[in-house]
Structure 1
Amino acid sequence: MKSHKKEIIIIAVLMAALLVIFTGLLTPEATQTQECSMIYIPKIKDDANDFWTELISGCQMAAEEYNSELEIMAPAKEEDIEEQNQLLREAIEKKPDAILFSPSSMSASDELLKEAKDQGIRITYIDSYTEEEIQDLTVATDNVEAGRMLGKYARTLLNKDSKIAIVSHVKGVSTAVEREQGFREGLGDYADNIVDVVYCNSLYEKSYELTNELMEKYPDLELIAGMNEYSAVGVGRAVCDAQAKDQIAVVGVDCSQEAINLMEMGVYKGIIVQKAFRMGYMAVEETIHMYNGDAVEKNIDSGCELVTPENMYDSDIERLIFPFN
């Protein structure tokens, strides 16, 4: 009797397993992801800039893992809005399933993006966005919070009379606006000590020149904040060359090998590191899910961390600042 019961249980288990297998075979759409053709237009493709290199690498890895097509079309300069719009026109003509876009302007690309949506092309913003909500999906750092974290930390390096300057990247772009806003919020009443805000158009050399001008104009500066990799590294180079690292604290946003070297040298006192690879990977992954009809969040924060000389070699931080090691 016990033998028969055992046989019945085994047969029942086998039948249940076969049912699961056959159900999967009969409904492949429930288990398979449909391929998605995508074009990504960043602000720039610059092999010397770790943020954009990591972000694009994340996009490409996700596209490869999901067996989907991804083409990168990038302007030569981050501030070249007209070239970015020309690439956007070309992308629309190719009729991909989705366009991933990092706008260099809050409004200059709106009409083209609306045209793409009218043609049924999904729009995903990466890193930055436009004033009008045209996109289906945004994956970016919470730049107000990133600026706020930097401002709160910078405040610990200062006193109520310290003079502060900001070297930002591209005037009017959402990342510059929000990081400055957050930085001022983090500084609190010390924000009244900001004596100047200048823009380097995401050029290392321009940031270097502007920093030298700021140091000459305000000889008692105690802190300069750079709002992206180009601006922060340019500031760091200038302060280092002027042998002013003991007088002027440098803080910034974005990480590179040069930024880490400047921190080890005592020039950088703190940097906000975006999770660029994660941002790119998630943007492509969520776009594919959206294309397949899955529910996705419209606004996704890819995260960031404050890195200082005290924590830069903690295991979690080390993995973030050396992502390919």
Structure 2
Amino acid sequence: MMKKPFKVFGTAAILSCLAFTAGCSDSGEADSGSGGNESVSVVLKTLSSPYWKYVEAGALAAGEELGVDVTVVGPSAESQVIEQVNMLEDQVSQSPGAIVVSPSQPDTVVPVLEQAAQTDLPVLLIDSDAEFEGKTTFIGTENFTAGQEGGKLLASMLQKGDKVALIAGALGNPATDDRIKGAKEALEEAGMDVVAEQPGDSDKTKAMSVMENIMEKDGDVKGVFAATDDMALGVLRAVEAKGMDTKVIGTDGTEEAVESILGGGLAGTIAQSPYNMGYQGVENALKAINGETVEERIDSGIDIITEENAQEQLDFVKSISK
């Protein structure tokens, strides 16, 4: 039986999540959940993709359930690194009780986070880690492990010696970089021939274009691992347009990806727990504000999604989607 991809925090929390996310835009504007006296700022890599909408939904549901004022912001795209830094500086200047951050490029935001931590502001990281003095905790998936599982899944569908390609995220994004490293290791150990490794910037259209270029050079690529589901779906468009029987594995477990699996498109996805990350980020931020002990590392877990268990994943994802 499949392990639940997300914690279910109760009907009230999910309904609250739906109420809040219904008014969200993809433009990076702040969305807030009314709570109590404490406040938590959440700065994400972007608000323009399903994955980060799930993180946002979890954070807002936690705010409603735990009585915390939660503000969620994020740039228009994961590649907008400076925009994220500016948003982070703005949120820190508003003196919240704690700040939860998913850095697109950790080295870029570390100076801001160090300054915040020096003022005794609890700083919690989710999805992507960063090393700096005073960090409260990191909550997220072991991205290298997620990539390994994706590589193993893809290899199990192929023959030794088959050609495979890897589609990475934006250059310098540690989460997607680690997924690619894990997948590459697993595929090479299984005897696959990795013929291409290209960045798709976590963008569906760019990933489609990248895959088209890869197929021009290697028309017999049998499998592809993409570091996000959006990129996997872009890759799928490219291979279907060519009429190729290429197995494509994504990462994130988004609604569109799971629907594609059920429809015979994607071969699978490695589902992380973005809703958990958002919820646990706010939950542990409140603990830190109250002086309670917070674990230095909290693993939010992964699940391997294929046609056999995709319906269960889809049902839950729909329950937290707007």
Superposition TM-score tier, normalisation by shorter sequence: 0.7 to 0.9
* Distance apart, 1:229 and its partner CA: 2.5
- Asked if 1:213 corresponds to 2:213, the answer is yes
* Distance apart, 1:132 and its partner CA: 4.3
- Equivalence for 1:161: 161
- Equivalence for 2:269: 271
The CA deviation string for residues 151-205 of structure 1, in whole angstroms up to 9 with x for no partner, is 1111111222111111111122221121112212322424661111111222211
CA distance in 2, matches of 1:253, 1:223: 14
Contact 1:184/1:191 (<8 A) preserved: no
- Equivalence for 1:38: 40
- Equivalence for 1:71: 71
- Asked if 1:324 corresponds to 2:320, the answer is yes
CA distance in 2, matches of 1:155, 1:192: 7
Gaps of 5+ in 1: 1-33
Contact 2:57/2:320 (<8 A) preserved: no
* Distance apart, 1:222 and its partner CA: 0.5
Contact 2:228/2:251 (<8 A) preserved: yes
CA distance in 2, matches of 1:298, 1:323: 30
CA distance in 1, matches of 2:134, 2:207: 32
- Equivalence for 2:249: 251
RMSD: 2.0
Letter of the 2:80 counterpart: D
Contact 1:167/1:224 (<8 A) preserved: yes
Q: 1:69 to 1:145 in 2, by over 3 A?
A: same
Letter of the 1:157 counterpart: M
Contact 1:275/1:320 (<8 A) preserved: no
Aligned pairs (5 A) from 1:167-178: 167-178=167-178
- Which stretch shows the higher mean deviation, 232-241 or 63-72? 232-241
Q: 1:191 to 1:171 in 2, by over 3 A?
A: farther
The ranges of structure 1 where at least 4 consecutive aligned residues each deviate by more than 6 angstroms after the TM superposition are none
- Equivalence for 2:111: 111
Other structure's SS at 1:251 match: strand
Other structure's SS at 1:99 match: strand
Contact 1:110/1:134 (<8 A) preserved: no
Match of 2:309 among 299, 304, 311: 311
* Distance apart, 1:138 and its partner CA: 1.1
- Asked if 1:290 corresponds to 2:284, the answer is no
* Distance apart, 1:242 and its partner CA: 2.5
Aligned pairs (5 A) from 1:122-201: 122-132=122-132, 135-190=135-190, 193-201=193-201
CA distance in 2, matches of 1:264, 1:270: 9
CA distance in 1, matches of 2:97, 2:79: 27
Other structure's SS at 1:197 match: strand
CA distance in 1, matches of 2:45, 2:217: 32
Using structure 1 for the length normalisation, give the TM-score.
0.83
Greater gyration radius: 1
Contact 1:102/1:129 (<8 A) preserved: yes
User: How many equivalent residue pairs?
Assistant: 287
Other structure's SS at 1:235 match: helix
* Distance apart, 1:227 and its partner CA: 0.4
Letter of the 1:300 counterpart: I
CA distance in 2, matches of 1:264, 1:319: 12
Q: 1:158 to 1:203 in 2, by over 3 A?
A: same
Gaps of 5+ in 2: 1-35
Using structure 2 for the length normalisation, give the TM-score.
0.83
* Distance apart, 1:56 and its partner CA: 0.3
Letter of the 1:309 counterpart: E
